[in-house]
Amino acid sequence: ITNMLEPQADRIMALGEWEERWNEGQIGFHQPHVHQMLESNLDKVLANRTRVHFFFPLCGKTVDMKWLADMGHSVVGVEVSEEAIKQFFEENNLTFSVEPVPTIPGAKVYKSSEKNISIYQCDLYNFSSSIEGQFGAIWDRGSLVAINPRDREKYASLIISLMAKDCRYLVDTLLYNPELYKGPPFFVPDEQVHNLFGNRCDIELLQSVDALTDKQKAWGLDYFTENVHLITPKSN
């Protein structure tokens, strides 16, 4: 597995680079519709619960947040780009307030006036359960695949610390030949998902789909598989 990850091991995207992409509108990763993997697996995430407290790491301006809030769930996102957050509220016609976050220097939180949505503008690793408590669900569509590969252990620790006992964490990962494309989005094999979360959590592969489109072919890839895992804390 180490050899498989080797081609991307040292790849680093600075936070500023992500902000730049937003400012320049280079956001090919943004989807204008609710993500199919979330929609088709929502029942498994909710598990008959209502008013679930959802966490969206590196949320961008995903419409998935409003979709869940419209169903009565509460949503907390973390995003470094102010541009992304403002676009989220503007494009969804939501009014919002902005306030500083006392416990995170330099951070701001944008809160929707109509819906139960709060988005924190800060470095994800400065976020913690002391800020919004723990979560009953986490939807990770472009976060684990976007963080720098060398930060994955740190990332997994943070996510586990944010999981309530009944948390259901849905994570989307991508499989392709990392020799052919440097990322992001990065290659995250199933073995690594198990290495990162397997000690503390149960892991179930819910879906595996061929997601190869002309876009990935243009990156030079010949296969591109999207896997969705459901990760739940072990009940010990």
Whether the Cβ atoms of residue 103 and residue 19 lie closer than 8 Å to each other:
no
CATH number, domain at 177?
3.40.50.150
Structural domain of residue 14, as residue ranges?
Answer: 2-233
* pLDDT of the residue at 7: 87
Mean pLDDT in each 10-residue stretch from start to end of the chain (236 residues)?
77 87 83 92 98 97 97 98 96 97 96 97 97 98 96 98 98 97 95 97 97 95 97 91
Residue 117 and residue 96: Cα distance in Å, rounded? 9
Between strands 225-233 and 74-79, the pairing is: unpaired
pLDDT of residue 87: 96
Q: What is the pLDDT of residue 27?
A: 78
Total domains in the fold of the chain: 1
User: Which DSSP string do the residues of 68-137 spell out, in sequence order?
Assistant: HHHTT-EEEEEES-HHHHHHHHHHTT--EEEEE-TTSTT-EEEEESSSSEEEEES-GGG--HHHH--EEE
Per-residue confidence (pLDDT) for residue 86, from 0 to 100: 97
- What is the model's pLDDT at position 2? 59
- Token representation of residue 17: 């680079």
Q: What is the pTM of this model?
A: 0.95
What pLDDT shows up at residue 1? 56
The whole-number pLDDT of residue 181 equals: 94
How many degrees, rounded to 5, is the angle at CA 206 between CA 125 and CA 29? Answer: 50
